[in-house]
Amino acid sequence: RKEVEQDPGPFNVPEGATVAFNCTYSNSASQSFFWYRQDCRKEPKLLMSVYSSGNEDGRFTAQLNRASQYISLLIRDSKLSDSATYLCVVNIGNEKLTFGTGTRLTIIP
Amino acid sequence: EPEVTQTPSHQVTQMGQEVILRCVPISNHLYFYWYRQILGQKVEFLVSFYNNEISEKSEIFDDQFSVERPDGSNFTLKIRSTKLEDSAMYFCASSAGRGRNEQFFGPGTRLTVL
């Protein structure tokens, strides 16, 4: 089983729609969780950390389910600028981040 | 807003040559990292560095790789004898602490080995 697993997509959704991404992780000792976004041939940029209680930042909501080892990201009222690859990232409390392969999102005008 | 910077943005080299990739982490950060991303693949951890020594490394980070913090600001990755399969984007990252602390990435160096 992959350490971090994501649906690669692509997701093509119309502007203004709501889109949700899911991610599962295999290591139950994982301690911290993040969503990064990556534009084509650019660096990963931190979108948000994911907390056990769930957290929201504007149009973005992240949820963590430790029992199911599952993380989600919800984007409401999607904008053209949201087109990117969304990376689910996990840390087991040591130095390294473990990345999923990413889910590609394209917002269609 | 402070950011991680990397030079060069693109490096082309011949197989067997040595390359040095440079990074300037965010100034008050204490933990430094190198990751790589082969085209079309996921981002992979190479090495982490704290208090002037390697704190963790992956199986990718073999004897041909080394890291150094030669002064108070730069953090370098050296590849001693490049192979074709070293062609990738190399990202430097830094964080204020370990574990839960967010890591911030530089823009990357695209390494092409011919």
Say whether A31 and B100 touch across the interface (CB within 8 A). yes
Q: Retrieve residue B15's tokens.
A: 């197989």
Between A43, A46, A96, which is nearest B107 by CB?
A43
Tell me what pLDDT residue B46 has: 97
Task: Give one word for A93, left, alpha or beta, with left for phi > 0 and alpha for psi -120 to 50.
Answer: left
pLDDT digits (tens, 9 = 90+) for B78-104: 999 999 999 999 999 999 987 667 999
Number of Cβ within a 10 Å radius of residue A67:
6
Distance CA A76, CA B33 (A): 33
Number of Cβ within a 10 Å radius of residue A42:
15
Establish if B42 touches chain A: CB-CB under 8 angstroms.
yes
Distance CA B54, CA A76 (A): 41
pLDDT of residue A1 exceeding 80, the answer is no
pLDDT of residue A67 exceeding 80, the answer is yes
Q: Which of A7-11, A92-96, B47-51, B108-112 has the lowest mean pLDDT?
A: A92-96
Give the up-direction half-sphere exposure of residue B78: CA atoms within 13 A in the CB hemisphere.
10
Say whether B102 and A34 touch across the interface (CB within 8 A). yes
Q: Calculate the average pLDDT of chain A.
A: 94
Tell me what pLDDT residue A92 has: 82
Distance CA A48, CA B56 (A): 25
Amino acid at A19: V
pLDDT digits (tens, 9 = 90+) for A22-53: 999 999 988 899 999 999 999 999 999 998 88
Average pLDDT rounded to a whole number, residues A77-105: 94
| Parts of chain B with a pLDDT under 50 | none
Between B44, B48, B104, which is nearest A46 by CB?
B104
Q: Retrieve residue B52's tokens.
A: 């002037």
Tell me what pLDDT residue A53 has: 84
In the DSSP assignment, the letter for residue B103 is P
Between A31, A38, A87, which is nearest B99 by CB?
A31
Distance CA A87, CA A104 (A): 9
Distance from CA of A108 to the nearest CA of B (A): 23
